[in-house]
Amino acid sequence: MLNTLLKKLIKASAGRTRFIMAVTGLSVALLLILAAVQLQVNYNSLLHGKTNQDSVANFLVLNKVVNEKTVGATTLSDQEINELKQQSFVDAVGLLTPSRFKISAEGGDGQLPFYTDLFFESVPDAFIDVVDKDWTWNDQSQFIPIIIPNMFLDLYNFGFATSQGLPQLTQDLIKNMPLKVNVRTSLGSFPYYAKVVGFSDRISSVLVPQVFMDWANQRFGNNTNAKPSRVVIRTKDAGNPELVKYLADHGLTTDADKTRFSKYRQIVNTVVNISGVTGFLMLLFALLIFTLFIQLTIASCKEEIILLITLGAAPTQLYRFLMRRFFPSNIVVIVAVLVVISILQFVLANVLEAQSMYIPHFLSAYTILAALVILIVLWLVNSSTIKKYIRQ
């Protein structure tokens, strides 16, 4: 009986326009906030998800920028290397050790003989993207294992060979090609056999095992310039703006393609932050409208409610009725917004998957958790507002 009377009173007093404005404002605010949360989750998934991880992009070879001030002085000091190791965006640092002796290589057959001056570099195995059983050396080995960049083979096949009318070469053919390496010193030339055991997409240098480099530098090299000029770092995010700023501030450079994502990340972060702040402000505005709507609804039938309480109706009954009247609309709004974002997420995941970029097809737990937190806030606001005006 009481609920029937309250329903008639509230229905007669409620302003439909104000209610529609409050629901619309709340819907837009929730859409912006939850979309910002989901966008941030998607972005992190693109950067760090297992299906999106690019082992090449997480390893950067760094060296000083060569200009008028650094010509002839591009080595990295111990202090510079230690400072680099202490940066939060650097997981590990490996030194590229150059050969300190002259080398030439010759090989091929009657149709494709070659001779070239050469250089070697070495780096700890943890930084190499080639795994091969022959990547080892000792003073009893029959040959020196070598890793060359895939870029070198591409330059030959699609540049040099095409322009010179020479045959293109496959990786297997090069791996089976006999090589003779001559280490040239003031004491004479020392011949060794070498073999290409792999092709790297990570380091654009001719690599030999670290143990060979240490042995050869000690036996044939000179110590006039023992400092490294290049290092390779492992980082979780090659597009980290802090990493890009550090390189610029310290006169260091790397492959620009691997750090170009930094600009895109700043744009995405800006869009997400603007969306989140706008959504938060709209949420506050929607809460204000809801509060006013509840206040006006109760105030417009205040005399009737006082009469009902005078006749014996308990305030708790009135409170429960008003909560059932106003709060369910909040739940409907949140569920509707989650459904809309779920549909958009599914469509976006399919679009990106066609471009070999992978994000989850469904809402993240963070988005659902944010919706639950907002729902609790709405419940608290509704409850406190109704209690406040019932007491009056």
Q: What distance in Å separates the CA atoms of residue 238 and residue 247, rounded to the nearest whole number?
A: 12
Q: What is the pLDDT of residue 75?
A: 85
Is the dihedral angle over the CA atoms 266, 272, 275, 277 positive or is it negative?
negative
Residue 84, both tokens: 């680099």
Nearest to 327 by CA among 384, 367, 280, 274: 384
Residue 252 Cα distances to 144, 246, 249, angstroms? 32, 8, 8
Query: Is 233:88 a contact under the CB 8 Å cutoff?
Result: no
Query: Is 297:29 a contact under the CB 8 Å cutoff?
Result: no
Q: What distance in Å separates the CA atoms of residue 364 and residue 338, rounded to the nearest whole number?
A: 11
Q: Please state the φ and ψ torsions of residue 375, each to the nearest 5 degrees.
A: -65, -40
Nearest to 32 by CA among 222, 375, 283, 366: 283
Query: Is 318:6 a contact under the CB 8 Å cutoff?
Result: yes
Ranges of residues in the chain with a pLDDT under 50 are 55-56
Reported as a single tens digit per residue, the pLDDT across 138-196 is 888 889 999 999 888 888 888 888 888 888 888 888 888 888 899 888 888 889 999 99
Q: What residue ranges do the domains of the chain occupy?
A: 1-52+263-391, 59-235
Nearest to 357 by CA among 54, 51, 56: 51
Q: What is the pLDDT of residue 8?
A: 63
- Reading phi first (left if > 0) and then psi (alpha if -120 to 50, else beta), residue 125 is in alpha
Q: What is the pLDDT of residue 55?
A: 47
Q: What is the pLDDT of residue 342?
A: 93
Q: What distance in Å separates the CA atoms of residue 363 and residue 94, rounded to the nearest whole number?
A: 39
pTM: 0.58
